Structure 1
Amino acid sequence: MQAFGLYTHIRANRIRSGFLIAGLFLLVYVMVFAGALIVEAFAYDEPPLGVMLARAFNDLVASFPWATIAALVWLFIAYQFNRGLIALATGAHAVTRQEEPKLYQLLENLCISRGLTMPRLYIMESPVLNAFASGMNEKQYTVTVTRGLMEALDDQELEAVLAHELTHIRNGDVRLMVVAVVIAGVISFFGELLFRGLTRMSFGSARPRMPRSSSNGDRKGGGGAAFAAILIALALIALSWLLSQVIRFALSRSREYLADAGAVELTKNPDAMISALLKIEGRGELPSAPSAVMEMCIDNPRSGFTDLFATHPSIASRVDRLVRFGGGRMPELPPAPPAGPADGGTDANSEPQAGPWGTAVPDNASQQPAPGQTSSQSQGSIPRGPWGPLFPPGGGR
């Protein structure tokens, strides 16, 4: 994307992200409503379905403050301890300028160029190629890189990766991702509790009461309504969990393109970002890291079975955007090895080498006369191009 439109994209993305986070909070209350509906389904007065839905909504209104407080407490815990928890889960350790002078200086120069507070620098002693940023405020912001990334990338490529992670911090992405992961975790945790509670109630003493016959032979709408209420609650739980995961992935995907563009803006070197991404592709799997950490990495190979469940856009699409909008170029492929002997000549006794599109033609094939034709007849003064004579013999220009 063009530099003049970068901040417009960032601002629009923040607005969309705010709506997505609000949607995550809304899903928390949907889960509370589902739980209240399950409780009402196991009530002993056997009300009709409409009554159960109304009671569940009243329960939601009554528990709204408590559900909000619970979610905020969970966020506060993540706010205070997220850096330590991530370091514990990944095995990363902090390094100083004296321990890693080159890496520290690259990150420090980027921060100075934009007037940013220097985040803490962490290293994972792992041969894989990956990096991520984390933290909720300036005192907690960290940039973590793997040892394998430091060894595989040159200075310009490593600077581009650091600029990518620094852009995530500058755009507020890391704070938003922590909030999204925590809220989605609340939904998953609460959904598991409801499923466990429902299983215990189904096989325990408290079961949905079957409809009882009244004195005039009519049946009250209890058993069937209770079963329908439980089905509705289960559907809401499953839908809430699914939407929470989709929102998490959408937040992560939308930010990687902007972080790539921000890295180009910081380093003025799109080619370094492209080559770094190509080196990282397929080599960033951190087996011991939880999925929440992998979502914050520069590349996450743990993609789902469809694009809907992919946390990151593909490397190919990110490189394509850097080429089309960032002024980058695809790196040139290394030259193919010669088909002949080691000295580069052609062995007359050797068979033609097979290429990807058929049998390769020797370099001097254009100089061999055809059967019944002398060398001068075949060559003459006819100019030749890479695919044969530019003008046919005897033909006019």
Structure 2
Amino acid sequence: MLPAFGLYTHIRQNEVRSRALVAGLFALNLVLAYGIALVLRGMSANLPAGARPGFSAYLHAAFHDLLWIGPLSIAVTFAWLFIAYHAHRAMISATVGAHPVTREEAPDLYRLLEPLCISRGMAMPTLLIVDDPALNAYATGLNPEQYAITVTTGLRDALTPREMQAVLGHELTHIRNDDVRTMMIAIVIAGIFAFVAEAGYRTDLLRNLFSGNRDGKNRAGAVPAMLLGALLIALAWILSKAIRFALSRSREFVADAGAVELTKDPDALISALIKISGRGDLARAPSGVMELCFDNPRVGFTDFFATHPPIEARIDALMRYAGGRLPPPG
């Protein structure tokens, strides 16, 4: 969280860092592909004709495999991004059960969101509702025609108008700063890793491509090659998770600051954070969708694997830099 005068500088720096991190996810695709090639070569004990068995021979053979596996991996990534670009909002809405609401159906939400959009010259995003008692909200969309903000019925019932406007301002800031686009791309690319790894281990077609010499004479170096390949696959998966977490955690502070800039009401955002804390788990939402939410109570075995900063840290930042105050007891 930064003081208001530093918000735009932080947004620009965050965007540069985000583009580099997303580019890193594409690079991890190649690491993953090389790891799979090593594992498959080692499992089949198959080396090119004339190659002298040994660890270095497997490294060279896997590198030659990377010349076609790598481009194939990148092509699959771009194809999946194309599908997600056109259909991600519909897929997410179908998963969590969200549906759009008209002005007549949700006049309270329209009255709160419209002034925020007008103040920034932004087109009004589509409003959607999820019939869920959880207290949460999230933004989706990769272009202005797709932008949408989804809120749960639990959130709508629990928050005051001031608190709801603060949450809507937070989600609108994610849209305004292109956070949604960056996070969606990162989630889609990172999600491919599990699919590629599963295909590499379970698809008979890929196994057959590397089938061949199984009589044992090429086994020298096979086990170290498989171990290195497994290590690279695990490393790619862990780093992809870390990249997604870094993107999400840093942007939540910026979105909180943007909400305060829009509403001029840090106290309302603090009050909303207190009410939402620990009550935001959407039962039907997969982990990728929860990473887009206002709060993600799903935490890994250490805080390193949390996609959002702790609620307490967000409240502390609002109090230190935005002059916010805790609500009175009771």
With the shorter chain as reference, the TM-score category is: over 0.9
Contact 2:53 2:220 in 1 (8 A): no
Once the two structures are TM-superposed, the CA of residue 49 in structure 1 deviates from its matched residue by 1.6
Aligned residue identity for 2:249? R
Once the two structures are TM-superposed, the CA of residue 308 in structure 1 deviates from its matched residue by 1.1
C-alpha distance in 2 between matches for 1:325 and 1:70: 44
C-alpha distance in 1 between matches for 2:74 and 2:242: 22
Match in the other structure for 1:307: 303
Distance change in 2, residues 1:126/1:240 (3 Å) = same
Match in the other structure for 1:276: 272
C-alpha distance in 1 between matches for 2:288 and 2:233: 21
Match in the other structure for 1:77: 83
- Of structures 1 and 2, the one with the larger relative CO (CA 8 A, separation 6+) is 2
Q: How does 1:213-232 map to 2 (within 5 A)?
A: 222-232=218-228
Match in the other structure for 2:124: 118
Gaps of 5+ in 2: none
- TM-score, normalised via structure 2 length: 0.93
Report the secondary structure of 2:325's partner residue: coil
**What is the root-mean-square deviation of aligned Cα atoms in Å?**
1.8
Question: Can you list the C-alpha shifts for 1:54-90, whole angstroms capped at 9, x where unaligned?
Answer: 2222222344433222110010010010010000001
Match in the other structure for 1:147: 153
Match in the other structure for 2:216: 210
Contact 2:25 2:189 in 1 (8 A): yes
Distance change in 2, residues 1:308/1:152 (3 Å) = same
Q: How does 1:175-324 map to 2 (within 5 A)?
A: 175-197=181-203, 209-211=215-217, 222-324=218-320
C-alpha distance in 1 between matches for 2:225 and 2:137: 46
Contact 1:208 1:227 in 2 (8 A): no
C-alpha distance in 2 between matches for 1:23 and 1:56: 21
Contact 2:36 2:230 in 1 (8 A): no
* Structure with higher helix content: 2
C-alpha distance in 1 between matches for 2:79 and 2:207: 28
Distance change in 2, residues 1:64/1:191 (3 Å) = closer
Once the two structures are TM-superposed, the CA of residue 197 in structure 1 deviates from its matched residue by 4.9
Distance change in 2, residues 1:318/1:207 (3 Å) = farther
Report the secondary structure of 1:181's partner residue: helix
C-alpha distance in 2 between matches for 1:201 and 1:26: 24
Report the secondary structure of 1:327's partner residue: coil
Gaps of 5+ in 1: 212-221, 335-397
Match in the other structure for 1:215: none
Question: Is 2:17 aligned against 1:16?
Answer: yes
Aligned residue identity for 2:252? E
Q: Structure 1 vs Structure 2: percent identity of aligned residues?
A: 54
Report the secondary structure of 1:282's partner residue: coil
C-alpha distance in 2 between matches for 1:209 and 1:138: 59
C-alpha distance in 2 between matches for 1:127 and 1:113: 31
Distance change in 2, residues 1:208/1:271 (3 Å) = farther
Distance change in 2, residues 1:168/1:63 (3 Å) = same
Question: Is 2:56 aligned against 1:50?
Answer: yes
C-alpha distance in 1 between matches for 2:153 and 2:202: 42
C-alpha distance in 1 between matches for 2:173 and 2:87: 23
Match in the other structure for 1:102: 108
Aligned residue identity for 1:80? H
Aligned residue identity for 1:277? L
Once the two structures are TM-superposed, the CA of residue 281 in structure 1 deviates from its matched residue by 0.5
Match in the other structure for 1:354: none
Match in the other structure for 1:4: 5
Say which one has the larger Rg: 1
C-alpha distance in 1 between matches for 2:321 and 2:311: 15
Distance change in 2, residues 1:82/1:323 (3 Å) = same
Distance change in 2, residues 1:37/1:167 (3 Å) = same
Contact 1:6 1:261 in 2 (8 A): yes
Match among 62, 65, 74 for residue 71 of structure 2: 65
Once the two structures are TM-superposed, the CA of residue 322 in structure 1 deviates from its matched residue by 0.2
Match in the other structure for 1:92: 98
The worse-fitting range, judged by mean Cα deviation, of 184-193 and 158-167 is 184-193
C-alpha distance in 2 between matches for 1:19 and 1:110: 30
